[in-house]
Amino acid sequence: MLTKILAGLAGLVAALAVIALTQRLGHVVYPPPPDLDVHDIEAFREFTAGLPLMALLFVLIAYYAGSFVGTFVAGWIAGFRTLIYTGVIGGLVLAGTIANLAQIPHPLWFSILAVIGIPLFAYLGGRLAPVRRAEQ
């Protein structure tokens, strides 16, 4: 039981780390203006409205990669595949994404691809995790 809990926590940490690192890389490639106040929602909305396609793709890739890696790590540590990790980790990433979409306007295509892709990549990560012992 402890292994399952630790596997889930490790998967969640891995998912969040991959999302943060990928988005950080996107900020290096497409840096925000130095005077941007990220706590000023209106200023941040204006900034995101003018982002190029590739900058938005960094964010989308971050969500996909985080979902995939998080469920993969959880399944790998646990040693068996389970939809619980897919549901919890993928669900948390999806919930965070939906909260972000609600606060900051994104193009419709981005919102659709995020909501469809995150559960898909979470499922793939869980299914591709190596199995060390019989599934439980």
pLDDT tens per residue, range 66-124: 999 999 999 999 887 778 888 999 999 999 999 999 988 888 999 999 999 999 999 99
Contact between 131 and 78 under an 8 Å Cβ cutoff? The reply is: no
The 10s digit of each residue's pLDDT in 39-50 is 888 887 888 888
Residue 77 in any domain: the answer is yes
pLDDT at site 20:
97
Residue 133 in any domain: the answer is no
Number of domains within the chain: 1
Q: Which domain holds residue 57?
A: 2-128
Give the integer Cα–Cα distance in Å for 51 and 115: 20
pLDDT at 136 over 60: no
Residue 92 in any domain: the answer is yes
Residue 134 in any domain: the answer is no
Give the integer Cα–Cα distance in Å for 101 and 122: 19
Give the integer Cα–Cα distance in Å for 21 and 115: 21
Residue 135 in any domain: the answer is no
Residue 76 or 135, more confident: 76
Does the global pTM surpass 0.75?
Answer: yes
pLDDT at site 132:
73
Give the integer Cα–Cα distance in Å for 14 and 130: 16
